[in-house]
Structure 1
Amino acid sequence: MAAKSSFPPPQLTITRTQARQFLLTHHFLRPPRQLVGKAGALEIVRRLGCIQFDPVNVVGWNPDLVLQARLGDYRAAMLDELLYTDRLLWDGFDKVQSIYMTEDWPHFTRRRVHGFDNVRFSEEEPRRLQPLIVEKIREHGPLSSLDLEDQTRIGGYWGFPIRVERAAMENLYIMGRLGIHHRKGTRRYFDLVENLLPADLLNAPDPHASEADYHDWHVLRRVGSIGLANPGAGERWLGILGMQSAERTQSLARLIERGEVLHVAVAEANGQTYMMRASESPLLASVGQIPDPAPAVTFLGPLDNLLWHRDMLRKIFDFDYTWEVYTPAIKRKYGHYVLPVLYGDQFIARAELLYERKINTLVLRNWWWEAQAMPDATCEAALTAGLTHFGRYLETAHFRLDPPADIDPVLQRVAKGMEN
């Protein structure tokens, strides 16, 4: 409640239906798969600011899952080209490890400067190696930490030791001395940033004269990453340098005063209010004027931007979702890697999918219908189309329904439809 008291009363009130329609339209999910090609991918990233990366790959990396839900022709090679050939997208840090527009590089100047004095690994060993690594890359080209000889290990992430070469490369990456040239699976190959970025972008000055200016830019961007952003504390606000609750509240108050952000109330949301970019007022006004598209089924990645604020999902979509990939198996309610299933403007199910690479097969292992789901023939057809698209995105040759999902009569009919 402390954050709300610093803002003027909500400037408009919308219904939950309007909020759902706006959010799905904002996220290019009304309908899903409405865009195509690299131009469509860039349009998505520009609007959302960044897409979160995670090293878990069950049916694709999280950025792949975000893009396949919005692009009708998405294949993983498209993102690789945008990142590592065209260099129009950058593999860096925003909320956490993220993908964002390369043109945004100057806006993160403060983070790179901060990285010089606040390196992740401050031990002597990685500091000693850093200039040597720079020279080795200058001489030999892009390298991964495994291309270097030292086998010394130091304390790493989550208490697990890591090789000192990797620690040194991480430091240089955070400082902005190195960038990711390409990936092979989870292995990153680093190059000097001057070999990856054009000189005018690399040498562009920090566009933010003060920390407050930077905060306002990043907060406005983060509001756009979500669509309707509750001002309270939460992981959705991670990664904004020098920002705690007080600074976030001050920044939002400035943005409201300048007319760049609107304070929005949602009826029947138990008093929770949200921030919306004022530039998207026409989009909000249009959602009730446009006929509802034919409902389609799509599968969202666990770290999709729409899912960043789980309490908002509960209040606006009546959908209670927890990603259980790091939850001990005995404590899981659903499964290891479960994807929310969106149908029209409602979440109707959760799916546990698996890509068996050796036999190029998409497997549906488990399925949990939401209580309000009433799958009719139209829904079955949409589900068939959604699973077919998902298989095409992965470029699979086969689909298989495994126990216990194979006892569901709806899924049995869908599986038969996919055989035809």
Structure 2
Amino acid sequence: MPRIRDIETLSSGQARNIALRVTSGRAGDAGDVLRHLVSVQLDAITVLAPAHQLTLAERLPGSTTGEVDSLLWQADGTVAFEYPAHAAALVAVEDWPLWAFRRRRSRIHPQYPDPALRDDLLSRIGSEGPLPLRSLHDQVGTATGWNWSPAKTAVQLLLWSGELACVRRDRAGNRLFQLPPTAIGDQYLTDALTDQECLRALVERAGHALGVATVDDLADYLRVTVASVKAVLPDTELVPAAVDGWPQPAWASEQALAFVDTVAEGASFLGPFDNTIWYRKRVARVFDFEHRLEAYKPATKRQHGYYVCPLRVGSDIVGRADLAYRDGTLTIITASPDAPAEFLAAGFSAACARLSAMLGATDITVLGQPADTPIPEALERAIGLSNT
């Protein structure tokens, strides 16, 4: 029987402190960070740096984006596998058992490959070793128009079902598919947990990663239904909470409550796919900030730019910048303040210097003139900091 728990009452500022501190908190090595965050999103856009590199480098002090992959895919063991957790994402290899519920569901998908095709694909990969998708097109078929090819559909569903695994990419960035027993340690390769056990563990972990969250927040974080979250919440370690200004009840991680009065340190740009800003409704509620990914919109419909990164200063999100990186140069295409200019300038300067160090940039340039006068001055300070 679920235990009766007192309701924690939090101010909106305390909830913001908790949310920023735990989601952006540093938790050790790459595997530790992955386990804490549950998953880290992947994306094909690399105009600044690969999405997962930005997310992880931000949480691994002293590391650069270019070093992240070597930390994840070490010669002496597998740290992560690719899986549709939140979206296409990296997941700590130890967490393979927790996604058994999604693997089982994938095996009854309407487009799941028929037994003959499935056996052919698995047999070929088993005999030839890890293969990229392009090597399988001749066996299954090629793409038509904008649709997934038959090969991609089949392989993707076999990946979702756990009959294939991806723990490596080739030098061109193509996923390499292999049989799970050759990629995942025997101690993790199991579907023994029930759907309820998987969901209970994952909801609890998502609660620890978010610090304080509504049911909607938790459901979005794991890409599961609200009903499935509600069904397991009473059996988790999370405690009921009420946050001033939040229209819905919340749940909090008891460990995270230690950070109610801890303001996040420094300033940084959050990558557009950073866990902190995954759920647009949560970002608006927690940070009073509107964030939308505009990279996939036509240029004429973008309000702030192509690869826009929110600017965090302390426990607040106070602006954003459209950023790019190439050949050692970090480029600020546009900058948009959402806070008083005198407050923004110092944070903008520090965030530029921090991102420059993460990217290994040797220069910072400005394409468009930012509207607020103090921002060019902040850029000058940032450029000075990055070149010292």
Are 1:114 and 2:112 counterparts? no
Kept after mapping to 1: 8 A contact 2:140/2:150: yes
Whole-angstrom CA distance in 2 between matches of 1:311 and 1:198? 38
RMSD over equivalenced CA pairs, Å: 3.0
- Classify the secondary structure of the residue corresponding to 2:107: helix
User: What secondary structure is seen at the aligned counterpart in 2 of 1:207?
Assistant: coil
Letter in 1 for 2:8: L
| Of 321, 325, 336, the match for 2:306 | 336
**Which residue in the other structure is 2:15 paired with?**
19
Does the CA-based 8 Å contact 1:23-1:227 persist in structure 2?
A: yes
User: 2:217, 2:318 → 1: CA distance?
Assistant: 28
TM-superposed deviation, 1:312: 3.0
Asked if the contact 1:145/1:165 (under 8 Å) is kept, the reply is: yes
Match for residue 227 of structure 2?
246
Secondary structure at the aligned position of 1:264 is classed as: strand
- 1:307 aligned onto 2:295: no
Aligned equivalents of 2:221, 2:387: Cα separation in 1: 44
Q: Which residue of 2 aligns with 1:5?
A: none
Q: Is the contact made by 2:267 and 2:350 (CA closer than 8 Å) also made in structure 1? A: yes
User: Number of paired residues?
Assistant: 379
Give, as a single letter, the amino acid of the residue that structure 2 aligns with 1:264.
A
Q: Which runs of 5+ in 2 are unaligned?
A: none
- 3-state SS in 2 of match to 1:314: helix
> Secondary structure of 2:48's match?
coil
* Code of the aligned partner of 2:365: R
Whole-angstrom distance in 2 between the partners of 1:151 and 1:217: 37
Contact 1:296 1:383 in 2 (8 A): no
Whether the 8 Å contact between 1:302 and 1:338 is mirrored in structure 2 is yes
Q: 1:167 to 1:285 in 2, by over 3 A?
A: closer
Aligned residue in 1 for 2:126: 138
Q: Work out whether 1:414 is the aligned partner of 2:381.
A: yes
More deviation, 56-65/81-90: 81-90
The one-character-per-residue Cα deviations of 1:350-375 (angstroms, maximum 9, x if unpaired) are 0111012xx33221111001134533
- Aligned with residue 336 of structure 2, among 353, 362, 368: 368
1:181-212 per-residue CA deviation (whole Å, 9 max, x = no partner) reads 4224552111111111222322x45233xx33
What residue number does 1:53 align with? Answer: 42
Counterpart code for 2:55: V
Q: What's the CA shift for 1:15?
A: 1.2
> Which consecutive unaligned segments of at least 5 residues does structure 1 have?
1-7
Alignment partner of 1:339: what SS? strand
Structure 1 residues 134 and 223: alpha-carbon distance in aligned structure 2, compared to 1, 3 A threshold: same
**1:277 paired residue among 253, 278, 282:** 253
CA distance 1:286–1:141, change in 2 (3 Å): closer
> What is the TM-score with the length of structure 2 in the denominator?
0.86
User: Are 1:192 and 2:192 matched, yes or no?
Assistant: no
In the TM superposition, what whole-angstrom CA distance separates every residue of 1:315-356 from its partner, at most 9, and x where no partner exists? 332212111122232222111110001011111220111012
Q: Report the Cα distance in structure 2 between the residues aligned to 1:61 and 1:235, rounded to whole angstroms.
A: 25
* Aligned residue in 1 for 2:51: 62
- The within-5 A match list for 1:108-187 is 108-118=99-109, 121-122=111-112, 128-148=116-136, 149-150=138-139, 152-153=141-142, 160-184=146-170, 185-187=172-174
Give distance in 2, aligned partners of 1:56 and 1:10: 45
| Alpha-carbon contact 2:323-2:330 (below 8 Å) kept | yes
Question: Partner residue of 2:368?
Answer: 403
TM-score (norm 1): 0.80
Partner of 2:201: 217
Conserved 8 A contact 1:129-1:165: no
Alignment-mate amino acid for residue 376 of structure 2:
P
Say if 1:66 and 1:301, in contact at 8 Å, map to a contact too: yes
- The 1:108–1:151 alpha-carbon spacing in structure 2 relative to 1, beyond 3 Å, is closer
Instruction: Confirm whether residue 206 of structure 1 aligns to residue 158 of structure 2.
Output: no
Q: In structure 2, do the counterparts of structure 1 residues 116 and 286 end up closer, same or farther at CA, with 3 Å as the change threshold?
A: closer
